[in-house]
Amino acid sequence: MAHQVLHKGAHARYVVSFQKDKKGYEYVASEYLRLSGIYWGTTALMLLTTKKEEDKEKDNNNNPTTQFVDYTKGLSADEVVADVLECRNADGGFASAPGHDSHLLYTLSAVQVLCNYDRLHKELSEEQRRETAKWVASLQSEEDGSFKGDKWGEVDTRFSYCASSCLRLLGFGPELGDIIDVEKAVSFVLSCRNFDEGFGARPGDETHAGQVFCCVGALALLDALDRVDADRLAWWLCERQTEGGGLNGRPQKKQDVCYTWWVLSSLSMLGRLHWVDRTALVAFILSCQDPEEGGISDRPDDEVDVFHTFFGIAGLSLLKYPGLSEVNAKYAMPQRVIEKMGLA
Ligand code: GRG
């Protein structure tokens, strides 16, 4: 394989220039998912940044593996936070970009970014946080416990995950049951389980690794992960590894860097991360980098983007690639943030 080391500096430069070039084509064209882009990019910078103590780590040849650079400094925290707050709507939810409707996907991204920068409580009053939580809870169906993504009504297990994560990050611990019907939320997720022990977007839909992450994550966040057969599900997940070393999202499909995250984080939550061939997977991810301009693509020699850059780095972090900060599999956020919030 051509590029066998992670080009941390190049990736950080790529993320920073994407985020700063607000008139650039990529930035303008991604307005419909802008807030998630901010979450992917800024979280990638945080994972590239290691704590100072980790400088002392040595590789097999006793050489230091990390050099401390705070890659997050490439972007102004105040500007990032201002960009996020501009997307807040009067209903308490957040939109992909100013002027759009609130959606659960972007509300989760907003809350994640504010937590990552330790600004959730500084920027949103208790009343505003309650409004956001109420808006999230209002999307749950009283009938079957599912969540819709917004007022327009699409139901998907992605939204069960987003709602669960959002409410936990907003501080709902044992009192989660006061705001949503937890048992019904769990039952809906379980109703999307298939014969292969995997999960789809709605009852009867095909198993897909992205939805498996959402369902395993939601069950973990709702303290119900013991209701899956971990061995059978982990077997389906580790069968996603292809001859090229990368992972696909379902049988007969192509490998893609983003499945490193959806599959590995699920395996990690199930305590079976070691069921994949780590060496082959690391080599595949590294082969998808642009070593000069930075960024990671879905497959070697394809165009890079912030989505695959984040999930490649986060996947490498789960694989304990040297010189990266630890990522939390359940929240897809830096472990140090989750620990500081008392959610680990
Ligand atoms: C906080 C990490 C995080 C996530 C929030 C939005 C979300 C919750 C999860 C998305 C999970 C998901 C469905 C991921 C899959 C994305 C993807 C690459 C879909 C492509 O699907 P197909 O059918 O691709 O086009 P394949 O690979 O099956 O051909």
pLDDT in tens, 154-212: 999 999 999 999 999 999 999 999 999 999 999 999 999 999 999 999 999 999 999 99
**Ligand 1 center to residue 210 CA distance, Å?**
4
End-to-end CA distance of the chain: 37
pLDDT of amino acid 22 = 85
- Indicate the top mutation candidate among 214, 215, 331 to test ligand 1's pocket, ranked by most ligand atoms within 8 A of CB: 214
Phi/psi of residue 235, each to 5°? Answer: -65, -45
Q: Which residues line ligand 1 (CB under 6 A)?
A: 105, 158, 161-162, 210-211, 213-214, 249-250, 253, 256, 258, 262, 332
Residue 43: which of 334, 297, 265 has the closest Cα? 334
- Cα–Cα dist 85/94, whole Å: 8
Residue 247, classed as helix, strand or coil, is strand
Atom 29, ligand 1: residue with shortest CA distance: 253
The residue among 84, 165, 94, 162 whose CA lies nearest residue 119 is: 84
Q: Which two tokens stand for residue 34?
A: 């802008």
Spell out the alpha helix ranges (H) of the chain: 8-20, 25-29, 34-48, 77-85, 104-116, 120-123, 126-137, 157-169, 182-191, 209-221, 230-238, 258-269, 278-286, 306-318, 335-340
Sort residue 206 into left (φ over 0), alpha (ψ -120 to 50) or beta. Answer: beta
Q: Which sign does the torsion angle of CA 210, 213, 216, 218 carry?
A: negative
Q: Three-state SS for 140?
A: strand
Q: Which atom of ligand 1 is nearest to the CA of 253?
A: 29
Q: What pTM was computed for the model?
A: 0.95
How high is the pLDDT of residue 26? 82
CB 104, CB 159: distance < 8 Å: yes
- Please, what is the average pLDDT of the chain? 94
pLDDT of residue 60: 58
CA distance 33 to 275: 33
Nearest CA to ligand 1 atom 25: 249
List, in order, residues 6 or more apart from 164 with CB less than 8 Å away.
185, 217, 218, 221, 222
Cα of 64 vs centre of ligand 1, distance in Å, is: 36
User: Packing angle between helix 8-20 and helix 306-318, nearest 10 degrees?
Assistant: 140
pLDDT for the residue 158: 98
Are residues 237 and 268 in contact, defined by beta-carbon separation less than 8 angstroms? no
Ligand 1 atom nearest the C-alpha of 250 is 28
For 292, list phi and psi in degrees, rounded to 5.
Answer: -90, -55
What is residue 47's three-state secondary structure?
A: helix
Give the distance (Å) from ligand 1 centre to CA of residue 298: 12
- The residue type at 261: W
Q: How far is the CA of 288 from the centre of ligand 1 (A)?
A: 18
Centroid of chain to Cα 205: 22
The reported pLDDT for the residue numbered 1 is 45
All residue ranges of the chain with pLDDT < 50 are 1-3
- Quick check: 114 and 82 in contact, CB under 8 A? no
Q: How far apart are CA 100 and CA 28, in angstroms?
A: 14
What number of CA atoms fall less than 13 Å from residue 226's CA on the CB side? 1
Dist. CA 329–CA 30, nearest whole Å: 26
Probe target for ligand 1 pocket from 35, 206, 262, with the most ligand atoms within 8 Å of CB: 262
As a whole number of angstroms, the distance between CA 219 and CA 197 comes to 14
Question: Distances from the Cα of 64 to the Cαs of 161, 184, 333, in angstroms?
Answer: 38, 50, 26
